[in-house]
Structure 1
Amino acid sequence: MSNVVYSFDGSVGYGKLPNGMVFRFDRDAFHKISNVKWYASCESGRFYIIDCRGRKLHSYLLNCLKGYEVDHISLDTLDNCSSNLRICTHQQNQMNQPIQKNNTSGVSGVSWYAPRNKFRARIKVNQKEIHLGYFDTFDDAVIARNIGMRCMFGAYGRYDNVGKIPLWIEKLVAEKCIRFVELSQNSAFFDFWALEVAANA
């Protein structure tokens, strides 16, 4: 018998644990989880819903082949609706991470570089750090980081809200990233970029 109090609002189901914590799931998946006793478990500062053996709720909802992982797109691990879950590789899952606690700029991969009196933008792919450039303004460094993520991470990047992208920054970053195309999760970007360069040559 389950220890969870369930309720529904349209197509979304809610499970309330004995400690008051609430998780979400798709109503049509209720039959997969309704007879399980669920508990909250904290891992690296994020809560997951697990059964008595430590199996996570999302593994009941998605059939994930060995060698793959389930990614919570919004980083909300209590939201287990299908729209927030995707199967991915470990590398892709690492691309969708919250900002680190030691970050002081508020944007991952962007920092002040005092020796040059500029902002620096970087990304890391498969333990390989890619330097994207030094910039006069914080906003330009954030734009560069977004372009770098688009080149290397594709749909798996955590993008910051930026304005119009100057062509010179896009060109600078794309030329730096293209050297690492074999690590890219968005190699189609480089095909598009090559066509753009050829058209403007």
Structure 2
Amino acid sequence: MKKDMGKTYGRLTILKEKRENKRTYYYCRCVCGTEKWIRADTIKNGSIVSCGCYNKEINLIKPVDITNEKFGKLVALKHTKSRDKYNGSVVWECKCECGNTCYIAESRLVKGEIKSCGCLGQENSKNNIQKAIKVHLKEHIVDGTNIPVISRKIVKANNTSGVTGVGWDKSRNTWRATITFKGKVYYLGRYKNKEDAIKVRKQAEEKIFGEFLKWYKENIKGR
């Protein structure tokens, strides 16, 4: 239980604990400033979220009728008996444009803090990824070639040779060399010695990447 010291449950922050009559009690500070001992199990299971001020507040808060009103992608259908555990606001059953049903506190709907069941955030994330891909393609893909990839010196962690395009083929006990250019993989042969495979790979890089990068720098980069 000591691990709960300093944690916040609802409006209560745990300051210290004690054992009494075979039960654990937490000494808590409420957001309203009140401090008191409360049974730990009632705090942990969520049945008590404040010193008592929460219940007083929700009795004063009357639900506003927002039935059928739209908030972003959400339509408020009906209010429930539940209350937001932080501010006592009435929780509404809502229908999202995507078809999902969700339950949102009235205060969060009215303030515009929540505008969907969560699908809007997923859509925004998807759109951002698509935009990033378009930017990458526009800035880095030239004539079907990924400029940063062929320019980089860093070798992937799973590479067995220490050189991009050269790897150990367990099935044939040889070193296999390849090079990828404009989306096509070119086979450069298999070699008993790693050094021979690396040599062929480096020669291919100079022939293919070298001329292409020179052309790119002279004609495309900086436009």
Larger Rg: 2
Taking structure 1 as the reference length, the TM-score comes to 0.33
Greater share of residues in strand: 2
TM-score of the superposed pair, with normalisation by structure 2: 0.30
